[in-house]
Amino acid sequence: MTGRRQILITGATLAAMVPFATLPVLAEEKPEYVNVGVLNKEPDIGDMAVGSKDAPVTIVEYASATCPHCADFHEKEWPLIKKEYVDTGKVRFVFREFPLDQLALAAFMLTRCAPKEKYFPMLGLIMKNQRTWVKNPREELLKIAKLAGMTEKDFDACLKNQKLANSIVGISKNANRDFKVESTPTFFINGRKVVGGRPIEEFRKIIDEELKKAQKG
């Protein structure tokens, strides 16, 4: 039995999901905004976020653990955004799971099963080591889970949690229904939709524009 088959969640299914795929960056003619009230409604398992709740700008990212563009963002742009905007109280960052396949679903289930304070460190390791763990998922994800304090028993029990699997799939289904999220990564910066990976300069430009709008009320 291959590592990929070993990691599949018993009984879990992504059949109800639209067949999403990562897309190249496309130029935007004008900013598209979604209903912030709906966007800010937390999923039933809660949001995972960093930064002040009073920050004038909120960034919501929908990403998949097996998406190369998402991994690139978390390795390159995210540390700079965190340092310049999140740590300075200007931005609150919310991460929402949008699994493109069962491997991504399994990885996200494990981050949700880990202690809450370990969520973002574990997510960072999953993104950073994406090319390694997707080739040998059970062994490599178990290593990451153990770093977060989980045992192999915890690991296996987590991957059999059908309720958790359904909740994570529900996040992606709602994103597609409510905000037409069809690829990863997709960001909403104060409700402004930004599809695909962007260089840090473009993120700074958009964030600064939204900060100025927020300051003007």
Neighbours of 119 (CB within 10 A): 18
User: pTM score, two decimals?
Assistant: 0.88
Q: Mean pLDDT in the chain? A: 90
Which CA distances in Å does 26 have to 30, 66, 194, 206? 12, 21, 10, 15
Interatomic CA distance for residues 194 and 192, integer angstroms: 6
Interatomic CA distance for residues 170 and 163, integer angstroms: 10
Reply yes or no on whether the pLDDT at 3 is more than 90: no
DSSP type of residue 77: I
DSSP-assigned beta bridge partners for residue 59: 93, 189
Show me where the domains of the chain are located.
Answer: 3-216
Tell me the pLDDT tens digit for each residue of 16-33.
Answer: 444 444 444 444 568 999
What percentage of the chain carries pLDDT values higher than 90?
85
Residue 2 is predicted with a pLDDT of 38
Residue 217 is predicted with a pLDDT of 75
Tell me the pLDDT tens digit for each residue of 118-131.
Answer: 999 999 999 999 99
Tell me the pLDDT tens digit for each residue of 65-115.
Answer: 999 999 999 999 999 999 999 999 999 999 999 999 999 999 999 999 999
Interatomic CA distance for residues 111 and 126, integer angstroms: 9
Residue 183 is predicted with a pLDDT of 97
The CATH fold of domain 3-216: Glutaredoxin (3.40.30)
Reply yes or no on whether the pLDDT at 56 is more than 50: yes
